[in-house]
Amino acid sequence: MKTFNVPAYYRSQLISKVKEYRKLQDPRKKDRRPTAIDFGAVTWHIARHFGFCYGVENAIEIAFKAIDENPGKRIFLLSQMIHNPDVNRDLESHGVQFLQDTYGQQLIAFDGLTPEDVVVIPAFGAPLPLIDLLERKGITTAKYNTTCPFVERVWKKSEQIGETQHTIVIHGKYTHEETRSTFSRSVVHSNAVVVIKDLEEAKKLATYILGQKTQTEFESEFAGKFSEGFSIHEHFNKVGVINQTTMLATETTEIAEYIKHVMQQKFTQQAVNQFFADTRDTLCYATNENQDATLGLLDAPADLALVIGGYNSSNTSHLVELCERKFPTYFIASADEIKSQHEIHHFDYPSKTMRISTHFLPQKEKVNIIITSGASCPDSVLEAVVHKINSYYSTIKTTEAALATLTV
């Protein structure tokens, strides 16, 4: 695996030791059990896989390369490079400005851009119309394009199934940068594209595939989520499912299998591969590994779960969703959200609101906590959370002593 030139302050001596230990114990990454590290009063159960993925480290390296290679020039990011507030604030501290927010709303007008400016494309990619706009202004976008290779793989798959006249169903969040970028490319290659966010929307889509509801109802129910000229009578004869790479992988698989079954209902006398394209290989390896590792956490004997990442991070939200199946779970951006041993501020993803919980740490002699982080969260942030919680207890081992206790 390639190593990237990422600022040292994103790294963590503690977490690096944990990862090194697991790499020696499980070089093939087959064991999804967490790593336990005993600090005395607190035992932490750390996910087998978490934190920066290949695409994020690649993006950070390219962004800082743009800063280093262009002294004195204005440097812009098209939008948030990744969904982590610490990394984005760090880039701003180096003079980088954001042209749009995470939802595509303009922060700085494109009219003021010149060919001398540098624009960095985020890891999620960018919609083709925006790429074209920048190129027309004389700004070369290829040099500092941080688009994740696994996102580009999804685009390639959409091109392949579009060329065979399949309608493309994107499992994603329509307002997410990556899904908007994928949608813009899918419409170039396919006659029809529609976005669904979950299995419930897949079931709603099935009523149109099977001809149970009307075109007018479709246009109302999926308003803003389908390509121009979409016809439920013409465009549900061949279908393929691709995904936003940060979605819950098991749900993407479930949606694909469900729609495949629906298409079998519709065309009972034909082989399924005539009207359904198998696109399971668009799932991101890092998303899969982090989600599998989080499922492995559910077997730990823990009192609570801490999940760390940006509040607009899709992949982190799904780790929260998994942990909530068993534990009281707190979604925090950093150690700053832990106000005291009695109070924590955490994000409720479904309602998009902050909540305050008190007495979140159990009053017992030995506390067990599971912890993981999203793919865009620096290891140093996770370490800071560990030390913040540890600071509330008087009988805490040194880091060196705790590292000697590492077990699986």
Average pLDDT per 10 consecutive residues for the chain, totaling 408 residues? 79 95 90 96 96 90 95 92 86 94 90 95 93 94 93 93 93 92 94 95 97 97 96 95 88 93 87 79 78 94 96 91 96 97 95 96 95 94 97 95 96
What pLDDT does residue 279 have? 75
DSSP 226: B
Q: Residue with structure tokens 């740490």?
A: 361
Instruction: Choose among 253, 317, 323, 324: nearest CA to 284.
Output: 253
pTM: 0.85
Q: How many CB atoms lie within 10 A of CB 237?
A: 15
In 102-258, the DSSP E strands lie at: 118-120, 167-171, 193-196, 239-243
Here the tokens at position 364 are 């017992």
CATH topology of domain 54-136: Rossmann fold (3.40.50)
What pLDDT does residue 272 have? 76
What pLDDT does residue 1 have? 57
Q: Are 137 and 113 in contact (CB under 8 A)?
A: yes
What pLDDT does residue 82 have? 80
Q: Same fold for the domain at 8-53+286-403 and the one at 149-283?
A: yes
Where do the domains of the chain lie?
8-53+286-403, 54-136, 149-283
**Rounded CA separation 102/126 (Å):** 11
The domain over range 149-283 is classified in CATH as 3.40.1010.20: yes
Instruction: Choose among 120, 133, 178, 174: nearest CA to 154.
Output: 178
DSSP 213: S
DSSP 282: G
**Rounded CA separation 211/208 (Å):** 5
Q: How many CB atoms lie within 10 A of CB 129?
A: 9
Active site residues: 178
In 206-318, the DSSP E strands lie at: 239-243, 276-277, 304-308
What pLDDT does residue 53 have? 87
76 has which bridge partners?
Answer: 97, 119
CATH number of 8-53+286-403: 3.40.1010.20
